[in-house]
A and B are shown apart, each in its own frame.
Chain A
């Protein structure tokens, strides 16, 4: 029999290629199956439900855009969005600013820095429900914080009893647990070449000038990343707000006091638990679209304020 060596080799290569493709597919299969079953199908299905009246155990009834129209005029939703905007505009910069401060104080290897890093990081491994319970106790009437206020002859705010102070209390817990942000900034600071600081020193730059003209631009991709994930996190914030408003009054997710702690995610869960599946789905999709819009706007304006020499992170 006449054997063509080229043809055999080509066939062998084809088999190898097919085998390699199969290997890749098998290795990816957990994610692929999970994506279709637990992500893609739920997203599309909730899009469909968002146009219907739906209760569990009953078929969905198409009502077009009605759910979305109801959302527009919903007072609770306006309140939840206002709360979210407050947390994003005031809480996020505080959190990121202090995380950046901690990281830049601890970036260079010095004696004691390892201990400080540990201490600063520990609160962030405390789950939100526990830090919520802890701060609920710390800030309650007659709790440790109000005792500290009394030391200085000052009246402590009521925190969770006062709509004006409930959100600052929420921000406080978030700021306490900024260790994960600090780590991200530390990772970014380590990547800044020392030569840039040396060059700045030769040009006569002081501490502030070096921070302003070297650190800030070089760290800006990291800042961008923390802002983006932070915005998404605020929009979805649930656990701590839930614990705080639960502590005030049990039962329904009211966002006590006076809705000051009502977050978008809490409001959505309330409609879900009350069995308004279609409406809850519409809320979820609006949240999805807001997230998408924030992400796209931030990515589009990125070049304006992110220094692009250091792009490894995103």
Chain B
């Protein structure tokens, strides 16, 4: 190894380690602050004098955290189910069924992703209000059963990587398209479906805008809204240790899911529709 190569290696790794520290440090401070005793949380201390684990239980006293978690999980379960049920057949029609105008229609579906949410929600609010759905989770969950463009896109790109011959073989054996979809495509496309489900879960779990305008009753809020309320309530009191403990509770499930399903995130997403 030449001196030049060693220097390059050191340079590369110091850039990478520097970046890694920048990405990780906020998490580190979040954890530290979440166990900071109150008197210290109001000072400039960085390291807690002792680990005040009771901060986590005090969050439960401050907001109905368990209720919020259940509400969030309910919304997530329904939106994930809805997205998978509705997007799988649509993505199948856009990948393995032949029909006139398919590609033009697909570009059209994609172009709806560019639509600002703002141009939709004003009227959607009116629709849900006339249906008497305000202050319920229906406005947040029912639309998920009607296929969104992003999930259709991800699924279609994944379906395209499946071998068409296998599908044709099933068709020759007399299987209907629905059977092909159920018995051939879905079993092979599990990683893609998993990725879509995970992205939907992340999206619903973290969604603030929708729950914030549709849920009014204190006990119907999701954790994302609860966190924002807690954050603005304790910001004046200086109890950032409680906000950080709540944030840890909010983010931890996502981190756990991520570390178990990292392959799905980092590799299960195919952008180009070709197996790389």
Contacts and interface: CB of A to CB of B under 8 A. Distances in A.
Contacts of B260: none
Among B43, B145, B258, find the residue whose CB has the most chain A CB atoms closer than 10 A. B258
Among A21, A41, A247, find the residue whose CB has the most chain B CB atoms closer than 10 A. A247
B231 A247 contact: yes
Contacts, number: 244
A51 interface: no
Given A112-B16, A133-B227, A176-B26, 4 more contacts: A27-B92, A34-B146, A42-B120, A246-B231
Contacts of B46: 144, 147
Interface in A215-266: 232, 235-236, 238-239, 242-243, 246-248, 250, 265
B231 A243 contact: yes
B24 interface: yes
B123 interface: yes
Contacts of A143: 44, 240
Interface string B68-97: 000000000000000001110110110001
A121 B240 CA distance: 26
Interface residues of B, number: 85
21 contacts: A26-B89, A27-B92, A27-B97, A41-B123, A42-B124, A43-B120, A46-B119, A46-B120, A119-B20, A119-B24, A120-B20, A123-B26, A127-B202, A129-B231, A132-B231, A133-B227, A247-B231, A284-B116, A285-B119, A288-B119, A313-B271
A125 interface: yes
Contacts of A126: 206, 251, 254
B255 interface: yes
A288 B116 contact: yes
A42 B112 contact: no
Nearest to B178: A23
Interface in B59-75: none
B235 A20 contact: no
